[in-house]
Amino acid sequence: MRHALVLFAAALLAGCSSFPGPREADRYFVLEAAPGAQAAARVLVAPTSASSFYDTQDMVYSRAPGTRAYYQFSHWTERPQRAIHAQLATRFERGGPQRGPVLSTHLEEIYHDAAQPPGTARIAITAQLADPASGAVLARRSFSRSAPAASYDAPGAAQGLRQALGALLDDVVAWVDAEAPRDAK
């Protein structure tokens, strides 16, 4: 009986020692770029898709080339592709019915490159303009932007990613304005 009590006490202590203190609270960040230029072209903005690893609310970082990991306690308030779609739609919104080519975007990557402190925020998307009637691709281009992380942690990465996203969205708007058929402007 005494031996069983000692084993029970040891197991109880071992279980308690794996949680030495209070757990860090989850933090949620909004992926929102500063307002940018409004597009002159009229397009239909399709929902943004995402590569499977980035199809999550978890924030992503990398400490070595070719590797990615999720921050344990840091998340986006919504999946990045939804935030990107909403912000693109706002930049192409001009009132009245939307018409013209379809703008499709695909989030290739969005992460904190933390190989060297404080790191770099990196985002890349592929955009495509297509004829809505035939589905024929009119133009296609990849975009990538980076910005310094404000600090060597998730809040600093979020700040850098907001900055990089704003520049990337401006690039997409300028490209669409240059590529969209004249009758769609």
Assigned domain for 66 exists? yes
The predicted-structure confidence for 68-78, as pLDDT tens digits, reads as follows 999 999 999 99
- Higher pLDDT among residues 30 and 13, named by residue: 30
Q: What is the mean pLDDT of residues 126-133?
A: 96
| Token code pair at residue 127 | 């955009």
> d(Cα 9, Cα 176) in Å, to the nearest integer?
68
pLDDT tens-digit profile of 143-164?
999 999 999 999 999 999 999 9
**Confidence tier at 165 by pLDDT (50, 70, 90):** very high
Answer whether residue 15 is part of any domain: no
Average predicted confidence (pLDDT) for the chain? 88
Q: Is residue 60 part of a domain?
A: yes
pLDDT at 53: 97
* Assigned domain for 57 exists: yes
Q: Give the integer Cα–Cα distance in Å for 49 and 120.
A: 23
**Residue 20 belongs to some domain of the structure:** no
148 phi and psi angles, rounded to 5 deg: -65, 140
Residue 121 lies in a domain: yes
The pLDDT value given to residue 99: 75
| CATH value at residue 64 | 3.40.50.10610
Q: At what angle do helices 80-92 and 154-179 cross, to 10 degrees?
A: 40
Q: What is the 3-state secondary structure (H, E, C) of the chain?
A: CHHHHHHHHHHHHHHHHCCCCCCCCCEEECCCCCCCCCCCCCCEECCCEECHHHCCCEEEEECCCCCCEEEEEEEECCCHHHHHHHHHHHHHCCCCCCCCCEEEEEEEEEEEECCCCCCEEEEEEEEEEECCCCCCEEEEEEEEEEEECCCCCHHHHHHHHHHHHHHHHHHHHHHHHHHCCHHHC
Amino acid at 50: A
Q: Is residue 3 part of a domain?
A: no
Predicted TM-score (pTM) above 0.75: yes
- pLDDT for res 6: 45
Question: In this model, does residue 13 exceed pLDDT 50?
Answer: no
Is residue 15 scored above 70 in pLDDT? no
pLDDT for 23: 77
Strand partners, 109: 124
Could you tell me the residue range of the domain that residue 88 belongs to? 32-184
- In a domain, residue 41? The reply is yes
32-65 residue pLDDT tens = 998 888 888 889 999 999 999 999 999 999 999 9
- Apex 120 CA angle, 114 and 123, nearest 5: 110
Q: Tell me the CB-side half-sphere exposure of residue 21, using CA atoms within 13 A.
A: 2
- Number of compact structural domains in the chain: 1
